[in-house]
């Protein structure tokens, strides 16, 4: 691969004031043992089927950046040393794995309190419904979130983002959903946006006011959704909060109510997401895909035949976001059939589903391992699922998820020599260095 392809030059001319004059590299990562570019044969849709493993990796490679953008990727033999000056920051990977920054495509970042005390009750055998009846479960988080100040919520979010960054997450989706009233839900979205402005991890807000009906609307889910459409969605800007999400499940919202709500959100200009088929096969995933949802999340009970229909109907553009740490933490036996989804042509991504109730973990590397162990993914497929496909699941594929000229310089150096070791070291954090926007953080 030439150091500067024609496509690279065209990109740089587009995003600089003409005429473009090549600059010296501001950052160079050299001597990468395995350079996992995640660059596939197609840029029109997420990776599916064999493409999940056919992306380009380079033995003995380099990545060069100018300011916050990648400008060249290739084997060390093709490095243009004339672009390396005294001003260039040079990182020697010393034979280690180098890959794009991880994309965390499903988190509930902003909330008050935690449920550690309920974890102890669960371990003693107490059922979730009994905990809920005593004011616990999601209701306890809603109460803690409503009473927390803006400053407390922001401090908590920044604390969690710092933890994600240590695991190599450089882009993250942050869902609301623990306010369950108009005022608090709008506040959660603003906290997520402010947290994104105050630190380097890119934050993509998503509105999940339709997590479950607010306690004031118990037994009246349709009225609660009508309130969100009337009192919240008009006050959100789709350019700033690009996605509206809903939990379609028994005890939350029906398929019919979810369809109506998502269609109304779509009319207002929002992209669509859905939590569905987590505990029952209700048909929520297919319904959302028919509306053009960018992702269908959980999907533990989604049948392979339905996955194949979704793949055909969406032309491989609706991503199944699988959350392997949730059944692990909840001690459930059912995991999404990831291998069957891949064979059906459905693109898959992986996430932690970080939240205070069903997955209080930021360890996306552990999710990679569990996806290999319990969902049938190979290591190469799992790495694609937390990078380029995860970027597709939150509409960020033009910015991140692969190491290609023109993309943001979000890069990880891992303390392992080979990709196969990543899921093998169960629960370990392999990250040695994190670069976000061309800067070592």
Domain boundary among the residues 393, 415, 430 is at 393
Is the confidence at residue 1, as pLDDT, over 70? Answer: no
Identify the pLDDT of residue 130: 76
User: Domain count of the chain?
Assistant: 2
Q: Is 353 annotated as a binding residue?
A: yes
Q: How confident is the model at residue 43 (pLDDT cuts 50, 70, 90)?
A: confident
Torsion angles phi and psi, residue 199, rounded to 5: -155, 170
Most confident range (mean pLDDT) of 37-41, 116-120, 315-319 is 315-319
User: In this predicted structure, what is the pLDDT of residue 122?
Assistant: 85
- Whether 90 and 151 share a structural domain: no
Q: Are residues 244 and 170 in the same domain?
A: yes
pLDDT tier for residue 245 given thresholds of 50, 70 and 90? very high
* 57 pLDDT more than 90: yes
State pTM to two decimals: 0.93
Whether residue 13 has pLDDT greater than 50? no
Q: Is residue 241 part of a domain?
A: yes
Q: Is 331 annotated as a binding residue?
A: no
- If asked whether residues 55 and 168 sit together in one domain, one would say no
Tell me if 149 is assigned to a ligand binding site.
no
Helix/strand/coil (H/E/C) assignment for every residue in 111-163: CCCCCHHHHHHHHCCCCHHHHHHCCCCHHHHHHHHHHCCHHHHHHHHHHHHHH
CATH code assigned at 37: 2.30.40.10
**Lowest mean pLDDT: which of 5-19, 152-166, 187-201?**
5-19
If asked whether residues 414 and 345 sit together in one domain, one would say: no
> CB atoms < 10 A from the CB of 190, how many?
18
Q: Is residue 235 part of a domain?
A: yes
278 is known to lie in a ligand binding site: yes
Domain range holding 142? 102-393
Quickly count: other Cβ atoms within 10 Å of residue 436's Cβ: 24
Same domain as 286, residue 253:
yes
With bands split at pLDDT 50, 70 and 90, how would you rate the model's confidence at 113? very high
369 is in an annotated binding site: no
Instruction: Indicate the pLDDT class of residue 2, thresholds 50, 70 and 90.
Output: very low
Q: Is residue 375 part of a domain?
A: yes
Q: What pLDDT score does 154 carry?
A: 98
Q: Are residues 305 and 205 in the same domain?
A: yes
Question: 149: domain CATH number?
Answer: 3.20.20.140
Q: Give the confidence band of 4 by pLDDT, cuts at 50, 70, 90.
A: very low
326 secondary structure, DSSP code: H
In a domain, 374, yes or no: yes
Q: What is the rounded average pLDDT for all residues in the chain?
A: 94
Percentage helix, strand, coil for the chain under 3-state DSSP, each rounded to 5: 35, 20, 40
**Does 398 carry a binding-site annotation?**
no
Same domain for 355 and 422, yes or no, is no
For the cut 90, the answer to whether the pLDDT of residue 102 exceeds it is yes
At 136 the pLDDT is 79
Give the pair of three-digit tokens for residue 242. 């690009």
355 is in an annotated binding site: yes
Write down the pLDDT at residue 118.
87
List pLDDT tens digits, range 119-145: 888 888 887 657 767 777 888 999 999
384 and 342 assigned to the same domain: yes
In this model, does residue 8 exceed pLDDT 60? no
d(CA 85, CA 98) in angstroms, rounded, equals 22
Helix residue spans in 51-105 (DSSP H): 51-54
Q: What pLDDT, in 10s, does the model give residues 315-365?
A: 999 999 999 999 999 999 999 999 999 999 999 999 999 999 999 999 999
> What confidence score (pLDDT) does residue 224 get?
98
Ranges 34-48, 176-190, 288-302, 328-342: which has the least confidence: 34-48
**Within a domain: 69:** yes
Same domain, 363 and 423: no
Residue 12 scores a pLDDT above 70: no
Q: Is residue 58 part of a domain?
A: yes
283-298 pLDDT, tens digit per residue, is 999 999 999 999 999 9
Mean pLDDT across 392-413: 98
Domain for residue 1, yes or no? Answer: no
Is 178 known to sit in a ligand binding site? yes
- End residue of a domain, out of 355, 375, 393: 393
Query: DSSP of 280-306, one letter per residue?
Result: S--SHHHHHHHTT-SEEEE-TT--HHH
pLDDT for 16 beyond 70: no
**What integer pLDDT is reported at residue 22 of this predicted model?**
61
Residue 4 annotated as lining a ligand binding site: no
Residue 298 marked as a ligand binder: no
* Percent over 70 (pLDDT), the chain: 94
Instruction: Judge if 92 and 202 occupy the same domain.
Output: no
115 among annotated binding-site residues = yes
**Is residue 231 located within the same domain as residue 309?**
yes
Same domain, 143 and 74: no
CA Rg, the chain, in Å? 22
Is residue 411, in this structure, part of any structural domain at all? yes
Cα 65 to Cα 62, 93, 201, distances in angstroms: 10, 15, 18
Average pLDDT rounded to a whole number, residues 219-230: 98
């Amino acid at each position: 691969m030439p150091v500067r392809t024609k496509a690279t030059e065209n990109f740089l001319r587009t995003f600089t004031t003409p005429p473009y004059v090549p600059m010296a590299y501001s950052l160079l990562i050299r001597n990468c043992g395995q350079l996992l570019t995640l660059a596939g044969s197609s840029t029109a849709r997420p990776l599916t089927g064999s493409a999940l493993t056919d992306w380009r990796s380079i033995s003995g490679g380099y990545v060069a950046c100018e300011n916050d953008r990648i400008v060249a990727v290739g084997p060390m033999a093709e490095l243009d040393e004339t672009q390396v000056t005294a001003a260039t920051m040079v990182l020697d990977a010393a034979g280690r794995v180098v890959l794009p920054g991880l994309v965390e495509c499903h988190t509930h970042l902003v909330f008050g309190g935690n449920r550690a005390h309920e974890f102890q009750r669960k371990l003693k055998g107490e059922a979730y419904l009994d905990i809920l009846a005593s004011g616990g479960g999601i209701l306890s988080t809603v109460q803690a979130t409503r009473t927390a100040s803006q400053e407390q919520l922001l401090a908590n979010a920044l604390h969690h983002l710092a933890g994600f960054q240590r695991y190599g997450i450089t882009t993250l989706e942050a869902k609301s959903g623990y306010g369950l009233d108009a005022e608090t839900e709008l506040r959660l979205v603003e906290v997520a946006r402010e947290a994104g402005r105050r630190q380097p991890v890119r934050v993509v807000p998503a509105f999940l006011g339709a997590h479950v009906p607010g306690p004031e609307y118990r037994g009246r889910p349709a009225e609660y959704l009508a309130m969100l459409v009337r009192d919240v969605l008009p006050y959100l800007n789709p350019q700033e909060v690009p996605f509206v999400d809903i939990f379609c499940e028994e005890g939350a919202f029906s398929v019919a109510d979810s369809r109506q709500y998502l269609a109304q959100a779509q009319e207002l200009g929002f992209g669509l997401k859905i939590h569905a088929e987590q505990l029952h096969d209700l048909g929520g995933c297919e319904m959302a895909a028919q509306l053009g949802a960018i992702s269908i999340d959980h999907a533990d009970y989604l049948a392979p035949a339905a996955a194949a229909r979704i793949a055909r109907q969406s032309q491989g553009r609706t991503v199944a976001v699988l959350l392997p740490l949730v059944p692990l933490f909840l001690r459930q036996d059912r995991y999404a059939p990831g291998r069957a989804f891949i064979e059906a042509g459905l693109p898959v991504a992986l996430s932690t589903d970080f939240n205070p109730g069903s997955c209080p973990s930021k360890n996306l590397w552990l999710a990679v391992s569990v996806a290999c162990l319990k969902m049938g993914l190979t290591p190469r497929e799992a790495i694609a699922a937390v990078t380029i496909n995860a970027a597709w699941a939150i509409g960020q594929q033009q910015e991140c998820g692969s190491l290609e000229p023109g993309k943001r310089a979000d890069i990880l150096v891992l303390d392992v020599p080979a990709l196969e070791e990543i899921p093998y070291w169960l629960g370990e954090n392999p990250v040695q260095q994190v670069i976000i926007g061309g800067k070592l953080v």
